[in-house]
Every structure is written in structure tokens, then in C-alpha cells.
Amino acid sequence: MSDRPSPRPAAPRDGPTLPAGTVFAGTYEVVRLIAVGGMGQVYEARNRWTQRHVALKVLPTGIAGDDASRRRFAREARLSARLVHRHVVRILDMGTDAAGSLFMVHELVQGETLEACQRRQGRLELRTALRIFVPIMDALALAHDHGIVHRDVKPANILLAQKADDYIVPLLTDFGLAISVKDGSDSRITLAGTLVGTPKYMSPELVQARPDVDARTDVWSVAVSLYEVVTGQLPFRGRSALELMLDILRQPVEPPSSLLPRLPAEFDAAILRALSRKPADRFATMREFRQVLKAIDTSRSEPPVANLRAQDEARRLDRALAAAPALQGDSIRDTIGSSAAVLPALHAMAKKRPLRIGVVQVRSVPPGAAIDDAFTMALGFRCDVLRYFTHAELVDAIVDGDVEFACLPPVAFARARQTGAARLLMVIERDGSAMYSSALLARASAVSRLADIRGRRAAWVDPWSAAGYMVPRWMLRAAGFSPDADLGSQGFLGSYEAVREALRAGTADVGASYCTVAAAGSFLHKPWSDEDGLRVLAVSEPFPGDTICARGDLSQELEKFVVSALGNPSKAAPVLQAFGATRLLPGDPSAYRMLEKAMAADAPGSIQPDSHSGER
């Protein structure tokens, strides 16, 4: 689901929606309503344990009492959970709440549907359309390998996910109408006497409700969707549902080039074959259809869009789709097996694609070209730095294999390490220290000692900040306080500067900041001044700051090569300059034990969205 602002959803037919702040099923805190449809309500929600924002799909008790709806809802979750593919929206959880409402949890996607994109932008150039559909067809081929037929492929069920600020990944969603051929799931298209599906994308066998529907129905639906996206028109244009279904069964299909003459003949042939009324005359598999489309030369397929603004938007979309990481298959782990093979293998790999390094879009990270060039110069081969909006998305990118290396702050690294997705390589030293402490601060005029914090207003940085949120709450617990029960209120301001300003202005009484402390306890560096009127209530033991991590399944030989290169001050100089660092030092995972304890002890509370601050 998109987390972009959307029009107010229509009022649900089956009971009231959940207000913001509602904790659903003991875990998911509702942020806002995203959509209401025939299969319930979809919310943006926050997992109070992991702090991850998700799409929460709820089938209220009124609908959940219908056995057919429950079966369909459960089937969607079961079939979707069987598909682990980077172009399929992931199912994260499913269950029932105390009231008996079924729920399903998806990853929350920032972006828009292909349908919305086409409505806003108009038809897409063939090259751009194939950048979207070829990966979706790869996902469908995997589904078919598992005996799963989607049956509702259409632009509204393809999401253009803005995974980072410079690339877009197409995702397939909504397996609510899917069937499993292998487990004999019901293949009827009617539930409670209602047509289920979208008629204009239905294959003839679906229209006729035939019992022998198989994966070739998805071949048909992909062809209809691709025809519409490229030409701006549907191949079947009946004015009513009945007229449309009759057209699907009888009307000859016009070649796409009859609408756009410069479309290649190979595209015409592929679409017309995929739209054969007899399944036996279509491509036998989605993989075969995909390979034919991939082989089409799109360089001279059609003229650019006439409108300059639309042309710029079309180019932006095409660049963002082209910049997405390629599917696995050129694994560095498989390529590099020994230290002697590292450099030749890396150079061979770099001819196919750059090494990918993930960062979060923050103020401390320089513009894209500068940091790309910095890593390329330091390591000696092509590097692409992929920039993500949040630390949660970057951790997901490591899990998904979208990046080989990542720059993570301590909390994000600890979360990635807990799943086995990341290994620590180096820590970034700034201001002469790679270790930082958290200082629990108070407005001196309001709080004179730690015992005075009860009932006071606290301002934190964000939930992914170690020194600005996680560790100070740990210090409060160590002193015998419950941060959620004893503080009067808590809020997130997104940066240390904003927290200090709130303390100075009196809009908050308690906050926290990073600092560096000498062995004797004196401050080596603190970002607040004596004139700020702040009192230090407690200081934590030190922990490392920002890290450079490797994906958990990479070869150790590759890791050693990268550590050696970045540990050399002359080679690493461009990276050091880019990050404002003095050195990159080998990391010690045991230095995170205190932070890991603090994270484990932090019970679910009022947690706000992951900000982009990238604070320590």
C-alpha cells in the first residue's frame, strides 16, 4: 500500500473504522486509514515492538462472519506468504484480534499504483512499460512454479514502490482471487452470487467460469494490461460489463501498432499470441512470454511524448526503474571464493553492475555523485550508492539482497544483526572518537535532579536514535523509573538540535544528546553550551556510532578486501571526506551489548514514525 497522502476513503459498509492511536491485536498501533474496499479496511500501522510501519488489512467481524469471505481472506495470506520474491508485496503477519476480526499485515510501500501513474501521466513508452512488466512477469513465473495463479493481474495491482530516492521497484500485490492448482483450491469466480475480479482484464476462460483455469489466464491479463499501458486503450472496449465480456469472447484484437504505428512487429506478435482465445494457442508459460518481450529492441519503437512536462515525467520514471538493483543471479558470494580471486572477480562483476552500498538520505550524507565517486576511488571499481528514505527500508534492502554494504547507525545495525542480515565491518570515527555516550539532559530551571523527572515532558530524537532515545530510556530504567509511566508526555522532534531548542524554550523538560567522554568522566565533546541552561542528569557507557556493514551472506574474502581498502588512510580519503570522518576503524560487535539490552528492554510504547535524521 502507498504511504503517500490519499483522498479520504469512503465510509466502510461494515462498521466504523479504527481511529488513529488504536492498538490492534496488541501489537499494531493505527496511524491512519488508507483505503476501504470489499475485503475490509487497510490502515497504515506501526508495530509497537519492531517500530516498523506496515499496511494492516482488517476484515471486520461483520464481514468476517461470512465464511466465503474468511476463506478468501485466509487464502490470500496463505498463498502470498508462500511467495518470497523482491517483486511481490510481502506478507508479514496474520491472525485474529480479540473481537474475532481477521487481519493481515503487509509491508508498507511508498509509491503509487501503475493505474494511478497511467491516469496521471498517460500512456507509457514501450521501454518503460517493459521495465515494469518484465519483473512482474518474473514474480508471476515464480507463483506459477508454486502452482499459484493470480487471476487478477491489472495495473491497479501493480505498485511502483519508491524504494529509495533514486529508484523504483514494481511490486505485484493482491492475491485475494488467487487459486492454488496444487492444493485444489476453489477456482470459481463467484462468491455469494457476485462476480469477483475485473472484467476488462479477464481471460475468456474466466469470463465463462470454466473449471480448467490455469496459469495461462495470467498470460492473458498481463497482455491486456501491457496493451493498455503502452497504447492508452484497452483491446476490448465494451460499454457495459455484459458487452465487454461478449467482446472478450468474440471481438478480434487490433494489433497495438494499429494505434501506434511505430511499435515493433515483435511486440504486436507477442501481444496477439498472448491474447489468443484458446489457452493452448498462447505462450505455454509466463517465463516464455517474458523472454520474448525482453528480446524486443525498444530503441526506435516510438517518438517521445509531445508534451514537455509529460516527457520529463516519463524520463524520470524510466530512469528510476532502470536504476533499481537487478535480480540476484550475479551473486558476489558465488563469484568470489578466495582472496587471490577478489580483484579479478570484482572487476568482472563491475562490468555487469556496480557494487551497491546503501545509505539513508540525511543531511550528513553528501550528494549522490560525490559519494558514488568516493567509494569508487577508494575501492578501485564501480560503486553505486543507493539512498533510502528510512533506516527500516535500508535494513529491508540488506535482508532482500538489494545492497552488498550499508552505512548504518547503531540501532539500525543492531536490528539488522539480530536477524543475521548484516555483519559489522568498520565504525566511523568523527571528532577523534568512534565511541559516543548518551547524556540525559534537563532544563535546569525545571529539573534539578533525576528524581524530579516524574510527570515531566520528554523530547526525544527518533526511535532509531541510540543516544537520543533508546539509551536514555535504558538509563531511566536503570535508575528505577518507567519511562512510559513516570514521564508526563513524550514526543519525537527528529534531531538533536530540535531537542536542545525545546529544552531551552521550555516546551520540554527532559531530553538527550550524544557526547564523548574521557576516561576520567570529563566531556571531550558536547554539542550543547553552558549558556543553554541545561543540566546533565546521567551519562551512559560509550557505544560505537555509525557503522559500515556487510550483508550477512557475503564472502569473507570480499569483506577483508573492503576493510583493507577503507582502513588505508590514503585510499579511504575520499570516503572520509564525504562522511566528515577522521578514520574508519575495524568494528567490535561486543561493543553493542549495552545497546542491545536497551533495545530488548524497551517495551512497546508510543512510538512515532522512523525519521530521516540518521542521528547517533
Residues 154, 91, single domain; the answer is: no
Residues 239, 128, single domain; the answer is: yes
pLDDT at position 144 is 87
**CATH at 94:** 3.30.200.20
- The C-alpha atoms of residue 115 and residue 132 are separated, in whole angstroms, by 12
- The C-alpha atoms of residue 183 and residue 373 are separated, in whole angstroms, by 52
Residues 85, 138, single domain; the answer is: no
Domain that holds residue 575: 332-430+546-591
pLDDT at position 319 is 84
For 59, list phi and psi in degrees, rounded to 5.
Answer: -100, 100
CB-facing half-sphere around the CA of 489: CA atoms within 13 A: 7
CB atoms within 10 A of CB 96: 14
At 98-136, the pLDDT tens digits run 888 888 888 888 889 999 999 988 899 999 999 999 999
Domain for residue 5, yes or no? Answer: no
- Copy the grid coordinates of residue 256: 497495438
- Which of 107, 139, 166 terminates a domain? The answer is 107
- Copy the grid coordinates of residue 41: 479496511
CB 389 within 8 A of CB 164: yes
Exposed / middle / buried, residue 338 (Cβ in 10 Å: 0-12, 13-18, 19+): exposed
- The C-alpha atoms of residue 45 and residue 34 are separated, in whole angstroms, by 10
Q: What is the CA radius of gyration of the chain?
A: 27
Domain for residue 596, yes or no? Answer: no
Beta strand 355-360 with 383-388 is parallel
Q: At what angle do helices 286-294 and 126-145 cross, to 10 degrees?
A: 160
Domain for residue 303, yes or no? Answer: yes
Residues 59, 191, single domain; the answer is: no
Domain for residue 269, yes or no? Answer: yes
Give yes or no: 152 in active site: yes
3-class DSSP state for residue 423?
Answer: strand
Residue 458: partners with Cβ closer than 8 Å, 6 or more residues away: 483, 487, 488, 489, 490, 491, 508, 509, 510, 511
- Which of 544, 574, 609 terminates a domain? The answer is 544
Residues 194, 210, single domain; the answer is: yes
CB atoms within 10 A of CB 101: 21
Residues 124, 250, single domain; the answer is: yes
Domain count, the chain: 4
Domain for residue 296, yes or no? Answer: yes
Instruction: Flag residues of the chain having pLDDT under 70.
Output: 1-15, 37-39, 50, 61-69, 72, 75-82, 84, 164-165, 176-197, 300-310, 325-353, 361-369, 603-616
Residues 62, 117, single domain; the answer is: no
Residues 351, 313, single domain; the answer is: no
- The C-alpha atoms of residue 381 and residue 383 are separated, in whole angstroms, by 6
Domain for residue 612, yes or no? Answer: no
- The C-alpha atoms of residue 603 and residue 605 are separated, in whole angstroms, by 6
**CATH at 494:** 3.40.190.10
Single-letter residue type at 404? E
pLDDT at position 61 is 64
Residue 119: partners with Cβ closer than 8 Å, 6 or more residues away: none
**CATH at 220:** 1.10.510.10
- Which of 107, 136, 165 terminates a domain? The answer is 107
Domain for residue 601, yes or no? Answer: no
Domain for residue 608, yes or no? Answer: no
List, as one string, the DSSP characters of 320-376.
Answer: HHHTSPPPSSS-HHHH--SGGGHHHHHHHHHHHS-EEEEEE--TTSPPHHHHHHHHH
Residues 179, 124, single domain; the answer is: yes
Q: Largest Cα–Cα distance in the chain?
A: 87
Residues 174, 125, single domain; the answer is: yes
For 110-134, b/e burial (b = at least 16 CB within 10 A) is bbbbbbbbbeebebbbbbbbbbbbb
pLDDT at position 43 is 93
Residues 128, 256, single domain; the answer is: yes
At 301-348, the pLDDT tens digits run 555 555 666 677 788 888 888 877 665 433 443 443 444 555 666 666
Residues 293, 350, single domain; the answer is: no
List, as one string, the DSSP characters of 267-310.
Answer: HHHHHHHHT-SSGGGS-SSHHHHHHHHHT---TTSSPPPSSHHH
Marked catalytic residue, from 138, 152, 174, 509: 152
Exposed / middle / buried, residue 605 (Cβ in 10 Å: 0-12, 13-18, 19+): middle
For 407, list phi and psi in degrees, rounded to 5.
Answer: -100, 115
Task: Give first-to-last CA distance, the chain, whole Å.
Answer: 30
- Copy the grid coordinates of residue 302: 516510438
